[in-house]
Amino acid sequence: MQYAGLAGLVGCLALLLLYLTLRCGWRLDWLYGWLKGSLLLLLLLCCAIVAVAAWELYQFRPIADGARIATLELHETAPQRYEATLSSAAGSQHLQLEGDLWELEVQVLRWQGFPHVLGLQDGYRLDTLNGRYLALEQQRETGLLLDRSLHATPRWRDAWRWLDRLDFGWLYADAFAIRFMPAAEGAEFAIEIGATGLSPVATNLQALEVLKGFE
């Protein structure tokens, strides 16, 4: 009975508080205003997200089979250190690479279902240019410090990376990469893209020689 009595006392207190609230003049105006303000804030957030997604999509380009999307020039500034010049439709970028090899990664958007039937083309964006050491010890010591981003989008708001975590069905994130290409003074490579991946093409004698030696 003790707890039943306490429950009844607390219930009476609740009824008293309800009576006082209604007596003081209960109005739903504040609730309507709060809901309206929250909805407006939510809409503003959605606008910002859609705007960021639009800017991200603008940076992608259609994939044309066999198209040359970039050229890479390497100049050795010190042992196992190179100044890389990557030229593409977006302009030229100068990056410092360390290691014996270079790797290029490209973000790809794939359309499926109805958008694909409508004729939307898969798109790409240059993502990272990485240096890599042949010696595993050196690679472990430097590790992630060798990555060089080729676009200004930070990872936390990169639409491609968010899409890679989600499943829309009609649009998904894919990636192309060139791995373990040898670096050498004066070597120049053209980067070609196709429906299934990237192809490096040696465009001068230095690149041809280093590829022969690497084989």
pLDDT in tens, 47-85: 998 898 899 999 999 999 999 999 999 999 999 999 999
Q: How many domains does the chain have?
A: 2
Q: Which of 8-17, 20-29, 181-190 has the lowest mean pLDDT?
A: 20-29
Range of the domain at 23: 2-58
169 and 79 assigned to the same domain? yes
- Candidates 64, 66, 129, 57; CA nearest to 93 is 129
pLDDT tens profile 148-166: 789 988 888 898 998 888 8
Q: What is the pLDDT of residue 38?
A: 93
SS3 27: coil
> E-strand spans in 50-166?
61-62, 67-78, 81-88, 91-98, 101-111, 123-132, 147-149
9 and 86 assigned to the same domain? no
The rounded distance, in Å, linking the Cα atoms of 175 and 107 is: 5
144 and 205 assigned to the same domain? yes
16 and 91 assigned to the same domain? no
